[in-house]
Amino acid sequence: MSEDDDYISRSRLKREAEEAQRLGERLSTLNDAELDALALPDVLATAIRDARAIRQHGALRRQRQYIGKLMRKIDIAPIRAVLAEKERNRHREARAFKGLETWRERLLTQGAEALDAWLAEHPDSDAGKLRGLIDSARDAPTPAARKTASRALFRYLSERARMRAS
C-alpha cells in the first residue's frame, strides 16, 4: 500500500465538510420529534436546537459551522436517507393536494360529468352531500361565502380521498 492510496484531496475534504454543514442546516428545520427520531448524539441535537434560537447572523453562522464540525464526526448517510424520504413525502403530499384542488375546480366547472367521474373513483362518497357542497360553492351570494363553501367542498374531497387511501 503506497501513500497515494490513502490520499484524499483537500478539495474533497472541503466539499464533504460543506455537505455536512448543509445537512446540519437542514436538520435545524426539523421539529423536535423528528430530530429525536434520528437518534443523533446529544451534543449535536443540542447544537441544532440552539441554532434555532439564534437570530444574529454572525452567531448563527458560527453555530452552523459548529454543527458542520459535529456532523463530520458521524455517519451522515442514514441522516441523508431520512431527509430524502421526508422530501419525497412532502412532494407526494403536494401532488395529492394539487390533485384535490383540480378535482374541486372540475366539480365546480364541469358539473354532472365531473361528479359522475368523482363518484366512479370514490364510490363511498355521498352524492347528495357532494351536490349540496358544489351548489353552495357555485351559488354563494358573496365572494367570502363562495370561498367558505369552496373550502368545505375541498375538506369533504380530502376526507374521501384519505378514507380511500387507508
Those residues whose C-beta lies under 8 Å from the C-beta of residue 19, and which sit 6 or more positions away, are 76
Query: Mean of the per-residue pLDDT values for the chain?
Result: 90
- C-alpha cell read off for 4: 497515494
Domains of the chain as residue ranges with CATH: 9-74 (no CATH), 93-165 (1.10.60.30)
Q: Which pLDDT does position 166 carry in this prediction?
A: 72
For range 138-143, the mean pLDDT: 92
pLDDT greater than 60 at residue 129: yes
Q: Which amino acid is at 133?
A: L
- To the question of pTM greater than 0.95 for the whole model, the response is no
Q: pLDDT grade, residue 126 (50/70/90)?
A: very high
Q: pLDDT grade, residue 1 (50/70/90)?
A: very low
CA–CA dist 161, 145 (Å, integer) = 24
Tens digits of residue pLDDT in 10-36 = 998 889 888 888 998 889 888 889 898
Distances from the Cα of 113 to the Cαs of 107, 116, 162, in angstroms? 8, 5, 23
pLDDT above 70 covers what percent of the chain? 97
pLDDT greater than 70 at residue 64: yes
